[in-house]
């Protein structure tokens, strides 16, 4: 878990340094026309412009999240390989964005996917960075693990009650 956290954090910070050296703030570089750009956007909020200008508040929430994740890690199957991967992705990603918030008072976003509209303009997914992607992957992995665990509990309950989920119950 610690190794993946460190790798995620280093990858996040290195890609942000690369993006800021490649582009000045507000600049964009078209990679796949009509679909993907590298951008350099300073984000003082969260995704979809939520909490814009609340950098200090978001930094505090992030630190509390890191402490809570560490303290409650045993609830997230930290003893399993998948649990350690999920937590490693979360720790590294959250730490990467916290570092930005303290170092430069915003998060550096540089990955932007979008689609052009027929009548002009575009619709896009909020710009993000490696930390955002690893946080999302960690959350999705934890949700998937939770779903699988619940499914296994349901099967065990059925087996303990003598019912087989493949065989419908007979009436009459």
The yes-or-no answer on residue 132 being catalytic is: yes
Confidence band (pLDDT; 50, 70, 90) for 165?
Answer: low
Instruction: Encode pLDDT of 7-53 as tens digits.
Output: 999 999 999 999 999 999 999 999 999 999 999 999 999 988 899 99
The yes-or-no answer on residue 109 being catalytic is: yes
Q: In this structure, how many other beta carbons lie within 10 angstroms of the beta carbon of residue 90? A: 27
Instruction: Encode pLDDT of 124-144 as tens digits.
Output: 999 999 999 999 999 999 999
The per-residue pLDDT for 150 is 79
Q: What is the pTM of this model?
A: 0.86
Please report, for the chain, the start and end positions of each structural domain, with discontinuous segments joined by +.
2-154
- Nearby residues of 151 by Cβ (< 8 Å), 6 or more positions away: none
For the chain, what is the HEC assignment? CHHHHHHHHHHHHHHHHHHHHHCCCCCEEEEECCCEEEEEEEECCCHHHCCCCCHHHHHHHHHHHHHHHHHCHHHHCCCCHHHHHHHHHHHHHHHHHHHHHHHHCCEEEEEEEEEECCCCCEEECCCECHHHHHHHHHHHHHHHHHHHHHHHHHHHHHHHCCCCCCCCCCCC
How far is 58 from 45, CA to CA, in rounded Å? 7
Average pLDDT over residues 95-110: 98
How far is 19 from 105, CA to CA, in rounded Å? 17
* Residue from 77, 100, 109, 154 carrying the catalytic annotation: 109
The tokens of 74 are what?
């045993």
The per-residue pLDDT for 104 is 97
* Residue from 100, 105, 132, 154 carrying the catalytic annotation: 132
How far is 44 from 58, CA to CA, in rounded Å? 9
């Amino acid at each position: 878990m610690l190794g993946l956290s460190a790798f995620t954090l280093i990858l996040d910070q290195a890609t942000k340094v690369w993006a800021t050296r490649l582009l000045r703030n507000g600049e964009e570089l078209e990679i796949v026309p009509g679909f993907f750009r590298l951008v350099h956007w300073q984000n003082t909020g969260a995704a979809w412009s939520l909490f814009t200008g609340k950098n200090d508040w978001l930094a505090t929430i992030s630190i509390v999240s890191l402490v809570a994740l560490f303290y409650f890690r045993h609830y997230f199957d930290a003893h399993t390989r998948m649990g350690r991967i999920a937590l490693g992705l979360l720790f590294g990603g959250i730490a990467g964005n916290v570092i930005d918030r303290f170092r430069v008072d915003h998060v550096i976003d540089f990955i932007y996917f979008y689609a052009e509209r027929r009548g002009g303009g575009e619709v896009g997914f909020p710009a993000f960075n490696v930390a955002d992607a690893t946080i999302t992957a960690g959350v999705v992995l934890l949700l998937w693990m939770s779903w699988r665990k619940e499914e296994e509990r349901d099967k065990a309950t059925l087996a303990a009650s003598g019912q087989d989920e493949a065989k419908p119950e007979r009436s009459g």
